[in-house]
Amino acid sequence: MGEHIIKLPDVGEGVAEAELVEWHVKVGDLVREDTVLAAVMTDKATVEIPSPVDGEILWLGAEIGDTVAIGSPIVRLKVAGEGNVKPESSPAAETINAEPPAKLATPKPEAAPPSPKAPPKADEAKAKPAPSPASPKATGQVSISGAPRPEGEKPLASPAIRLRAREAGIDLRQVAGSGPASRISHEDIDAFLARGPQVAKTSGLARNDSIEDVKVIGLRRKIAEKMTIAKSRIPHITYVEEIDVTALEDLRAALNKEKRAAKGAERPKLTLLPFLMRAMVKAIADQPNLNALFDDEAGIIHQHGGVHIGIAAQTPSGLVVPVVKHAEARDIWDCGAEVNRLAEAAKSGTATRDELSGSTITITSLGAMGGVATTPVINHPEVAIIGVNKMMVRPVWDGTQFMPRKMMNLSSSFDHRVIDGWDAAVFVQRIKTLLETPALIFVD
Amino acid sequence: MKEISCKLLVIGAGPGGYVCAIRAGQLGVDTVIVEAGKPGGTCLNVGCIPSKALIHAAEEFEKVAHMAGGKSPLGISVAAPTLDLTRTVAWKDGIVSRLNSGVAGLLKKAKVKTVQGWATFRDGKTVEVETETGTQVIRAEVVVIATGSAPVELPFLPFGGPVISSTEALALGEVPKKLAVVGGGYIGLELGIAFAKMGAAVTVVEALPRVLAQYDAELTRPVVKRLAELGIEVMAGAKAKGLSTKGDALLVETSDGKNAKLAVDKILVTVGRKPVTEGWDLEQIDLDMAGKFIRIDDQCRSSMRGIFAIGDVTGEPMLAHRAMAQGEMVAEIVAGHKRSWDKRAIPAVCFTDPELLTAGLSPEEAKAVSSEIKIGLFPFAANGRAMTKLGEDGFVRVVARADNHLVLGIQAVGQGVSELSAVFGLALEMGARLEDIAGTIHAHPTQGEGFQEAALKALGHALHI
């Protein structure tokens, strides 16, 4: 019998550490080769760590939420044969066991030095009277946390307490007793009075004082970090404009009807997104400084020739941003197909790290949820994000009368450090012109 | 016709009524109390107090008679005693009289106006009282009905002649040679035992299969044993049928259906008490009733606004201390305090020999409210103090919930156990668990130790048994 140590493999280029987001095994489990042991998350992607050998789990080197450096031991397995730990190196393994250096996260409180309180001596413990056999049962029967007493059971309280409650207008049936057999004391009345009368008045609506601690891990943590960076470093300017998409909608309907009839299932059903993407490509051609990554530490704006449009998408585990690469080189159908493919991949969790990174500008849409306007948060280090609000038919004054028009708002944010309000407005107005006269999208 | 007005009018100066009036007076409520007889009601005049006086005299007489028999293990011998019942009754009347004036004094001190006479309702706010000096009309904002109860009369054995109620039994000029007691409840047995000790040949006729049927058989066993020792004959399951034509015998149908004739000098009928709801024009105010009694809520309010009822007229248990607690509560409600009936226990004492005491739930009642119970019973035969008093018969019994050891009921039977009622009542009102009683030091040597030991027994570690 030997030991096999599994180290965190290199999960992607340039990645030095990864967050452990899930254990699929626990100590004592028997695993086969290729059994998935754990999942780790890098900047964008979740990577599963399979077992390279058969064996029994002896030790797990990290807790969920810990950030682990590439190459750190994360699992020790008992395996048949020699394993990969030589006998003379076992002290090293023990060291690992004793203090996993792989953990980059701050030590947990339980790892703190032992509390100054000495553990009770054995004889002291013995001297303590054994708890009354009744107490645990009693508190179980009538919970001291204030659970209602069984129907018809009188609250247990001395005459003095009952009188005080009567005069204070307290219904003792509502008061939790902290004494033996849930006897109500003066202190319980004090506590009840301090909490106020709303508890007593509840009629079916119970107060809920519970607090659930949810560890922010995995994708949620990534999102939290990114949002913090974006909002703390980027002074946003948000510009909202309404766009008449009546013509665009007519065109979209016509294209969907004709092209799909002609080409069959090969062509996707077009949404509004591909048109917006193509309009953005056109507008960016005039204002390339909006398709850029701002390295504020180096003081350099990387203006990209390729328009890589991130599409913010909601997935069961949170927000991800798959990227349509080189939108400038894709026609409207190609854009549509690529958006559909990436959205599907993101939702099913199969999007690769490559597909989830490399955007130079982003579109965010709450789609059917509606909303008149949003204040989108820029996908750092980009400098612009276009937010799509819900399209709806509104009355529009055409100079002589109100006309029902399909109107849609665009809420767009820009990094005001490098984009002036004027430039932002020019960009959005350009997109507005393109979308309101969609033929312009297709004319060079 | 004179008229007076007041805030509170109390009808009846028994223990319920006079306590209500005194407390109301203390609280500054303008109060009038009406009483046809002497203050103190049944309890003071023809109930608790005089009966206890007679019972004590009988006990003392029996003790001396026992010593005169030369069989006292204490080594005391005396000449055969004689009893002058007239003097005994005079002594008893002296006590009653002192207490009458005591109550009257307390009412006066509390600035309560007492009107002597019989009250009848004119309407819910107005009462007419026939006094010696004419009709007095009293108008009140609040009326408390505390008219009490009276002995139940059997139609075939009407009171009069040899047939007496407890009232007459307490004022006899001589001890009847042969006494039949119809009704083996607590009043019949208290008085029957007393007269037996004073030398009467006593026969108890009880329709139910056993005497003191409201108590469980375990509890009454020492009393039944003592009845035999005192030579009291018990005819259980037997029905009194009436008086013989000569008026010197009681006709009885025995448990096996035969007719018997008991030669008697007196027949004491103690078949219960009924509320006094007649003679004061209850019909004028048309209150809701609960059976024979006036229906009340947990504040002793009747169905009519501004009319309260307390004491025996409101139902069982017909006990003076219940009436007193109700009276005190009602006075405080009338004075504007927030009060409601939330007592946990009304202890009940039966001054038989030995005495019976119950507080809270009996084992049977406890089983009905709690799925599992614990019972601890400690016999006085294992109690040193009881031995030194020649009172080894009897026991203390504690009934508690099995899950949290909350004490639900406490019973005792034995010499002098009536005085334990204070501690039994306190334990129940305070919500004691078995551990509380077991953990309280009880002075040695006292019969009260039996209480602690019974609790320890229920916990499984009694020390002296």
Q: What would the 3-class secondary structure string for B342-378 be?
A: CCCCCCEEECCCCEEEEEECCHHHHHHHCCCEEEEEE
- Spatial contact of B115 and B139, defined as CB atoms under 8 Å apart: no
Residues A315 and A267 in one domain: yes
Q: Does B298 contact chain A (CB < 8 Å)?
A: no
User: Is A278 inside any structural domain?
Assistant: yes
Residues of chain B with pLDDT under 50: none
CATH at residue A93: 2.40.50.100
Give chain B positions within 8 Å (CB) of A141: 403-404
Structure tokens at B436: 């509380």
Across the interface, of A157, A167, A182, the residue whose CB is closest to B338 is: A167
Residue type, B291: G
Distance from CA of B422 to the nearest CA of A (A): 14
Name every residue whose Cβ is closer than 8 Å to that of residue B419 and which is 6 or more positions away in sequence: none
According to the model, what pLDDT value does residue A13 have?
61
Q: Comparing A272-281, A358-367, A414-423, which segment has the lowest mean pLDDT?
A: A358-367
- Spatial contact of B122 and B288, defined as CB atoms under 8 Å apart: no
Decide which of A298 and B192 is more confident. B192
CA angle in degrees (0–180, nearest 5) for B160-B166-B170: 100
How many beta-carbon pairs under 8 angstroms link A with B? 46
Q: What angle do helix axes A246-263 and A421-436 make, rounded to 10 degrees?
A: 50
CA distance B350 to B186: 6
DSSP code of A112? Answer: S
Distance from CA of A125 to the nearest CA of B (A): 22
The predicted model gives A241-255 an average pLDDT of 92
Residues A188 and A224 in one domain: no
Q: B242: closest CA among B171, B151, B162?
A: B162
Across the interface, of B404, B431, B434, the residue whose CB is closest to A157 is: B431
The predicted model gives A38-43 an average pLDDT of 80
CA distance A21 to B327: 72
Name every residue whose Cβ is closer than 8 Å to that of residue A196 and which is 6 or more positions away in sequence: none
B264-278 tens-digit pLDDT: 999 999 999 999 999
Would strands A402-415 and A236-244 be described as parallel, antiparallel, or unpaired? antiparallel
Q: Find which of B329, B346, B373, B404 to mutate to test the A interface (most A CBs within 10 Å of its CB).
A: B404
Cis amide bond preceding B379, omega within 30:
no
Residues A228 and A376 in one domain: yes
Handedness of CA B99, B100, B103, B106 (dihedral sign): negative
The mean predicted confidence, pLDDT, of chain A is 79
The predicted model gives A109-138 an average pLDDT of 42
Give chain B positions within 8 Å (CB) of A182: 404
The predicted model gives A408-429 an average pLDDT of 94
Contact A158 B406 (CB under 8 A): no
Residue in chain A closest to B406 (alpha carbons) equals A181
Q: Is the pLDDT of residue A372 over 80?
A: yes
pTM for this prediction: 0.60
According to the model, what pLDDT value does residue A264 have?
56
Residues A193 and A223 in one domain: no
- Spatial contact of A310 and A363, defined as CB atoms under 8 Å apart: yes
Decide which of B270 and A188 is more confident. B270
The predicted model gives A247-267 an average pLDDT of 78
User: Is A212 inside any structural domain?
Assistant: no
Give chain B positions within 8 Å (CB) of A180: 404, 433, 435-436
Q: Does B433 contact chain A (CB < 8 Å)?
A: yes
User: Is A202 inside any structural domain?
Assistant: no
Percent of chain A predicted with pLDDT > 90: 30
According to the model, what pLDDT value does residue A131 have?
41
Distance from CA of A136 to the nearest CA of B (A): 9
Contact A162 B342 (CB under 8 A): yes
Handedness of CA A314, A315, A317, A321 (dihedral sign): negative
Residues A415 and A266 in one domain: yes
Instruction: List own/partner pairs for A338-347 with CB under 8 A and 24 or more apart.
Output: A339/A271, A339/A273, A339/A274, A339/A277, A339/A311, A340/A268, A342/A311, A342/A313, A343/A311, A343/A313, A346/A313, A346/A315, A346/A320, A346/A322, A347/A313, A347/A315, A347/A316
Residue in the structure block whose two tokens are 């007269």:
B195
Structure tokens at B287: 């209150």
Distance from CA of B342 to the nearest CA of A (A): 8
Q: Does B152 contact chain A (CB < 8 Å)?
A: no
Work out the burial of residue A142: count CB atoms within 10 Å of its CB; fewer than 13 is exposed, 13-18 middle, 19 or more buried. Answer: buried
Would strands A236-244 and A313-315 be described as parallel, antiparallel, or unpaired? unpaired
Residues A88 and A169 in one domain: no
> 3-class SS at A129?
coil
Q: Is the pLDDT of residue A375 over 50?
A: yes
According to the model, what pLDDT value does residue B213 have?
94
Q: Does B60 contact chain A (CB < 8 Å)?
A: no
Residue A148: pLDDT band by 50, 70, 90 thresholds?
low
CA distance B324 to B330: 10
Residue in chain A closest to B405 (alpha carbons) equals A134
Q: Does B368 contact chain A (CB < 8 Å)?
A: no
Torsion angle defined by CA atoms of residues B423, B429, B431 and B434, in that order, rounded to the nearest 10 degrees: 20
How many whole angstroms from its chain centre is CA A67? 17
Q: Is the pLDDT of residue A174 over 70?
A: yes
Decide which of A125 and B307 is more confident. B307
Distance from CA of B201 to the nearest CA of A (A): 47
Q: A408: closest CA among A399, A396, A420?
A: A396
Q: A379: closest CA among A220, A223, A216?
A: A223
Q: In chain A, how many domains are there? A: 3
Q: B460: closest CA among B402, B410, B412, B411?
A: B402
The predicted model gives A89-110 an average pLDDT of 44
By a Cβ cutoff of 8 Å, what residues of chain A touch chain B? Answer: 132, 134, 137-138, 141-142, 154, 156-159, 162, 166-167, 169, 180-183
Q: What angle do helix axes B186-197 and B217-229 make, rounded to 10 degrees?
A: 20
In the residue annotation, A420 being an active-site residue is answered as yes
CA distance A163 to A166: 5
Residues A410 and A311 in one domain: yes
> 3-class SS at A11?
coil
Residues A387 and A326 in one domain: yes
User: Is A203 inside any structural domain?
Assistant: no
> Which of A380, A420, A423, A444 is an active site residue?
A420
What are chain B's domains? Answer: 2-49+88-151+274-334 (3.50.50.60), 163-271 (3.50.50.60), 348-459 (3.30.390.30)
Decide which of B209 and A95 is more confident. B209
According to the model, what pLDDT value does residue B448 have?
96
According to the model, what pLDDT value does residue A190 have?
87
The alpha-helical segments, DSSP class H, found in A113-217 are: 122-127, 134-141, 159-168, 186-195, 198-201
Q: Put residue A337 in one of left, alpha, beta given phi > 0 → left and psi -120 to 50 → alpha.
A: alpha
User: Is A187 inside any structural domain?
Assistant: yes
Q: Is the pLDDT of residue A122 over 50?
A: no
CA distance B10 to B18: 8
Q: What's the start-to-end Cα distance of chain A, in Å?
A: 72
CA distance B447 to A221: 73
CA distance B362 to B368: 10
CA distance B375 to B399: 5
Residues A254 and A342 in one domain: yes
Give chain A positions within 8 Å (CB) of B429: 158-159
Decide which of A79 and A14 is more confident. A79
CA angle in degrees (0–180, nearest 5) for B405-B411-B417: 130
Q: Is the pLDDT of residue A97 over 50?
A: no
Contact B339 A154 (CB under 8 A): no
Residue A196: pLDDT band by 50, 70, 90 thresholds?
low
CA angle in degrees (0–180, nearest 5) for A261-A264-A270: 75
Give chain A positions within 8 Å (CB) of B406: 156, 181
The boundaries of the domain holding residue A354 are 219-442
Most confidently modeled range among A45-49, A108-112, B390-394: B390-394
Give chain B positions within 8 Å (CB) of A181: 401, 404-406, 431, 433
Q: Find which of B329, B370, B433 to mutate to test the A interface (most A CBs within 10 Å of its CB).
A: B433
Q: Does B403 contact chain A (CB < 8 Å)?
A: yes
User: Is A245 inside any structural domain?
Assistant: yes
In the residue annotation, A326 being an active-site residue is answered as no
Residue A56: pLDDT band by 50, 70, 90 thresholds?
confident
Across the interface, of A132, A137, A158, the residue whose CB is closest to B429 is: A158
- Spatial contact of B153 and B159, defined as CB atoms under 8 Å apart: yes
Across the interface, of A158, A162, A181, the residue whose CB is closest to B406 is: A181
- Spatial contact of A368 and A345, defined as CB atoms under 8 Å apart: no
Residues A235 and A342 in one domain: yes
Give chain A positions within 8 Å (CB) of B430: 158-159
User: Is A124 inside any structural domain?
Assistant: no
Residues A225 and A325 in one domain: yes
* ipTM associated with this complex: 0.72
Residues A255 and A318 in one domain: yes
CA distance A167 to A155: 16
Across the interface, of A157, A169, A181, the residue whose CB is closest to B405 is: A181
DSSP code of B149? Answer: E
CA distance A336 to B393: 102
CATH at residue A288: 3.30.559.10
CATH at residue A162: 4.10.320.10
How many whole angstroms from its chain centre is CA A77? 32
Task: Provide the edge-to-edge strand list for the sheet that holds A55-60.
Answer: A2-7, A73-79, A55-60, A30-31
Q: Find which of A132, A142, A167, A185 to mutate to test the B interface (most B CBs within 10 Å of its CB).
A: A132
According to the model, what pLDDT value does residue A102 have?
45
Give CA separation, B386 vs A427, B173, B227, B376, B445, in Å: 107, 35, 20, 18, 9
User: Helix (H) and strand (E) counts for chain B?
Assistant: 13, 24
Task: Provide the edge-to-edge strand list for the sheet that holds A17-23.
Answer: A46-50, A36-41, A17-23, A67-69
